[in-house]
Amino acid sequence: MFIRSAALNRSEGLVESTRQYSWDFSCEKGLIPERKVRSDFQEEKSIGWISSWNTKCGIAAYSKHLLEAFPQGAVTVFAPFGGEITEEDGDNIRRCWSMDKGDYECLEQEIEKAGIRILVIQFHYGFFYFTEFAGFLEKQVERGRKVVIMMHCSTDPLNNPEKRMAILAPSLRKCHGILVHSIGDLDRLYLNDLSKNVLLFPHGILPYDSSEQAGRKNGDSFLVSSYGYFRPHKGLMELVRAIGILRKKGKNVSLRMVNAQYPVPESEKEIHLVRNAVREMGMDGTVEFFTDYLEDEESLSLLAESDLVVFPYQNSSESSSAAVRQGIAAGRPVAVTPLEIFDDVAPAVFQLPGRSPEEIADGIESLMGHITSRSVEYTRKMDLASQWRQHHIFPKLAEQLLEFLVRNENAR
């Protein structure tokens, strides 16, 4: 599942050249010894993990799902202060830094105290002050730790010169590895002369058996669902308007919005605007709202009852989407707007013709025909999605990541 940067090989031979740096290919050639990592790994807290934790944050959930498959007691999580905590922290959680400050002294002290040898950092532009964070990385490398960055975003924000990848690049080059989720990330890092230590590591999905729920549970109505935090850039207003267009055309379609309120004012405002739009279009009995934060099992159960799950994003600077993976995990057909954030799941999803309500409506209408008739195109895509799911479940990816980290430690 690991693919080394192939930013220099964008033309002929791209597939073969990237395959040569993949995890599976390395095993075939004997470059990676086959062994059971868990039996070799000393189950002590020698791995440090810097991330948001137990909060309404996609990266916090990503970290939790990966670490659930690690040996118990192997990892100490260094989490930030603040935020609405969703559940009580475990004994291995240390809250010792702040996203609102560039002071990492307390974090450094806790890392030293825990005897950390391998440090994994979940990176997002909003997490760190770049100049101070660059200094923090330098110190960790100088102290002999293997530092691995898991990068969830690589697009510099507009009009913020203090958050530029170029600031971090010299320090990132000294890290043992930079793990990214998309080819777009590889390209952007290459522009900052970051390629030698960059690896492509996919985002994961939860293992889930939807076989007992798959299919229509809403009478004769074709049920479309959405999922993810309720935020303006997610295109939920556009999706509601698309459903309105379809109903005006006589299509018997309903909408289930499994979109939790995010703890920022713009999310509450967007929910209010969308609810008003639903009322104005006379669709109160057509649209279901689930805006409370739900556990994964409950969310997946709601999505598994759908005929189609739609992600109508309008824009995003994120490298990949955690939300779309819930749709894929639910085992239902998934449709996305044509944005780079969905490139890494392309084999498992259908692509809508555009982002406007009209284009979303056209795409849904076309897919309704394919899904209802079980067309060849539909069957082929669902087979590919099933294969994709099996290769991207969190336990499998966690095993590969742990082996990568342990090998790094053994190579010290």
Q: Based on the fold, state whether residues 238 and 121 are members of the same structural domain.
A: no
The answer as to whether 217 is a domain residue is no
Q: Is residue 213 part of a domain?
A: no
Task: Count up the domains in the chain and report the number.
Answer: 2
Q: Which of the two residues, 265 and 216, has the higher pLDDT score?
A: 265
Same structural domain for residues 70 and 182? yes
* Exposure b/e, 379-412, CB count within 10 A at least 16 = b: eebbeebeebbeebbbeebbbbbbbbbbebeeee
Contact 319, 341 (CB under 8 A): yes
Mean pLDDT of all residues belonging to the chain: 88
Claim to verify: residue 11 and residue 130 sit in the same structural domain: yes
CA-CA-CA-CA dihedral for 283, 288, 291, 294, to nearest 10: -170
What band does 214 get if pLDDT is binned at 50, 70 and 90?
low
What pLDDT, in 10s, does the model give residues 308-334? 999 999 999 888 898 999 999 999 999
Structural element, H or E, at residue 257 = strand 253-258
For residue 341, give the CATH number of its domain. 3.40.50.2000
- Residues 15 and 81 occupy one common structural domain: yes
The answer to whether residues 270 and 166 belong to one domain is: no
Q: Which H or E run contains 123?
A: strand 118-123
Are 224 and 408 a contacting pair, CB within 8 Å?
no
Is 246 a member of any domain? Answer: yes
Are residue 400 and residue 343 in the same domain, yes or no?
A: no
Residue 215 pLDDT:
54
With 0-12 CB in 10 A as exposed, 13-18 as middle and 19+ as buried, what is 98?
A: middle
The candidate with the shortest Cα–Cα distance to 42, out of 398, 406, 396, 397, is 406
Residue 297 belongs to some domain of the structure? yes
Terminal CA-CA length for the chain: 23
User: Residue 255 contacts by C-beta under 8 Å, 6 or more apart in sequence?
Assistant: 223, 224, 225, 226, 239, 240, 243, 283, 286, 287, 288
Q: What is the dihedral of CA 30, 36, 38, 41, to 10 degrees?
A: -50
- Decide if 214 is inside a domain: no
Is the pLDDT score of 153 beyond 80?
yes
| Residue at 274 is within a domain | yes
In a domain, 324, yes or no: yes
User: Looking at the predicted structure, is the pLDDT value of residue 14 above 50?
Assistant: no
Same domain assignment for residues 134 and 52: yes
38, pLDDT greater than 70: no
pLDDT at position 73: 86
| Higher per-residue pLDDT: 261 or 41 | 261
Averaged pLDDT for residues 67-87: 91
* Domain assignment of residue 327, given as a range: 222-391
Q: Are residues 92 and 178 in the same domain?
A: yes
What is the DSSP secondary structure assignment for residue 71, as one 8-state letter?
A: P
In-domain check, residue 167: yes
- What percentage of residues in the chain have a pLDDT greater than 90? 76
Q: Any idea which residue has 């590919």 for tokens?
A: 384
Same structural domain, 8 and 157: yes
> Do both 236 and 158 map to the same domain?
no
Quote the pLDDT of residue 248: 97
Same domain, 199 and 228: no
Q: Are residue 12 and residue 90 in the same domain, yes or no?
A: yes
Residue 29 has pLDDT above 90, yes or no: no
pLDDT digits (tens, 9 = 90+) for 284-308: 999 999 999 999 999 999 999 999 9
Above 60 in pLDDT, residue 216?
no
Residue 210 confidence (pLDDT): 74
pTM: 0.82
